[in-house]
Structure 1
Amino acid sequence: MSKLSPEKKKRHIIVHNNPKSPISEAYRSLRTNIQFSSSDAKVQIIMVTSANPGEGKSTTASNLAVTYAQANQKVLMIDADLRKPTAHHTFLASNRNGLSNVLSNQCQLSEVIVDTFVPNLSLLPSGITPPNPAELLGSNKMKVLLSDLRDQFDMIIVDTPPALAVTDSQIIASICDGVILVVDSGRVKHAQAQKARDKLTHVNARMLGVVMNNVRHGNKDEYYYYYGASE
């Protein structure tokens, strides 16, 4: 696995660049709440999604992955948004080969996982955009891949497309240990968030909670993240 440099970061990972900020502390609280909420069952693979595009799911997934890495756990971030991937920009990785290439038998898994500039955190980029994302993600090979990765990493964070846009997130949710739903409080209506949640629970996804994004919190922070346990 190759080592990537932080010198040309294009996206701001706040828990890495400013770990003492209130938002960074909120992400750590999210990690802690997930740990407490899953005391009765092991949660090793966490899927992160949203109802619609632009709600901050990829930002949440990246920062959550970093908080686990900062806790000295061996972490893998998987960009399973095969339609509009962003993790390779965040972590300065090539996206020439990745998850889609492995699932379509073009590459071996060991060839596409890269170390990031964050200690203890590795990345599996999305790879080339395939013509059949849902079919690849729903394949038996995807299930086998996640099973194999359980033996290699302590925590796995999976970024997926929005739940209301395509079926990809529902497919992946059914084979993950838990799901975090990211909601932009300033843009998304309650009915949309509820519909997204219903789609996920329909496939027996285990809802770990909701991250409310863009919640005003005093005068110092423009937005604030917090964890709300699902019912």
Structure 2
Amino acid sequence: MRERRRRRTRQGQDAYTTLQFNVELYGDSDQVLYITSPYLLAGKTTVAVELANSFAAAGRTTALVEADLRNTPLTDYLPQPVKKVGVSDYLQQKATLAEIIMPTNIERLQVVFGGTRAQGISELFNQQRLAELMGQLRNQFDVVILNTPPLTGEIDTFLLSKQCDAGVVVLHRGQDRYRQVRPLIQKLDAVGSKLLGCVLVDE
């Protein structure tokens, strides 16, 4: 199952603008952020997309990166180019950074899709090539937002978080209970990940 794209309302737009302000306020100099959730369908991709939009609207050059390579939900939100290259292709040394960064119809916002399907995704994230990618994105953009996988199931997000300055966990009202989520957040803390906070979504 995949997340459904949600229509942006004025109220929703104001909420994401507030979220962007709070991230800048409490994140201080944090440049690279990961967005995750405990489970699938919590709304993390919506938050990642809208937060990236808000940063771009605020005048920050922004890269939105699909790091959920097992599900690639960004393709439900943004049109993919004909040449489907992205993160996986860069990590396998099949593409350069210039080849995987794609423009959008939003000023100051560019996107990096997941790319072609790959085997051994956790192994791809646990190598120097990932650090090189993140370093280049840091040099090119004011803000980098990673749409990372859910925390349950695989170790991908825990590996990715090591290359990020901070993260945000998206919780779905009625689906996620604190006693279930707390151990996952403790695991993030154990790998040294800085957590800015949680976002509660109703949809």
- Which TM-score bucket, shorter chain as reference? over 0.9
Amino acid at match of 1:49: T
Aligned residue in 2 for 1:194: 182
Which among 15, 18, 22 is matched to residue 11 of structure 2? 22
Larger radius of gyration: 1
Separation in 2 of the partners of 1:137 and 1:125? 15
Aligned to 2:21: 32
Q: 1:158 aligns with which of 125, 132, 146?
A: 146
CA contact (8 A) 1:184 1:213 kept: yes
Gaps of 5+ in 2: none
Question: Which residue in 1 is equivalent to 2:56?
Answer: 69
Question: Take 2:176 and 2:52, find their aligned partners in 1: how far apart are those partners?
Answer: 25
| Aligned pairs (5 A) from 1:1-231 | 11-12=5-6, 14=8, 18=9, 21-39=10-28, 42-94=29-81, 96-214=84-202, 223=203
Structure having the larger proportion of residues in helix: 2
Contact 1:13–1:62 under 8 Å retained in 2:
no
Q: How many residue pairs get matched?
A: 199
| Distance in 1 (alpha carbons) for counterparts of 2:7 and 2:85 | 23
Q: In the TM superposition, what is the alpha-carbon distance from 1:38 to its structure 2 partner?
A: 2.3
Give per-residue Cα distances to partners, 1:100-158, cap 9 Å, x unaligned. 00100111111111101111100000011211111111211101110111110000000
How many Å separate the matches in 1 of 2:190 and 2:181?
14
Change (3 A) 1:13 1:98: farther
Q: 1:184 to 1:38 in 2, by over 3 A?
A: same
Q: Distance in 2 between matches of 1:171 and 1:96?
A: 24
**Cα gap change, 1:132 to 1:213, in 2 (>3 Å):** same
Deviation at 1:88, TM superposition (A): 2.6
What TM-score does the superposition give when structure 1 sets the normalisation length?
0.82
Q: CA deviation at 1:165?
A: 2.0
- Cα distance, 1:81 vs. partner? 0.5
SS class of match (2:198):
strand
Distance 1:159 1:38 in 2: 17
CA apart distance, 1:90: 1.1
CA distance in 1: counterparts of 2:38 and 2:183, whole angstroms: 8
Give 1:13 shift.
5.6
Q: What is the identity percentage for the equivalent residue pairs of Structure 1 and Structure 2?
A: 27
Segment of structure 1 superposing worse, 68-77 or 94-103: 94-103
- How far residue 207 of structure 1 moved from its aligned partner, in angstroms, is 0.3
**Alpha-carbon separation, structure 2, partners of 1:59 and 1:38:** 20
Equivalent-residue separation in structure 2 for 1:112 and 1:175 (angstroms): 19
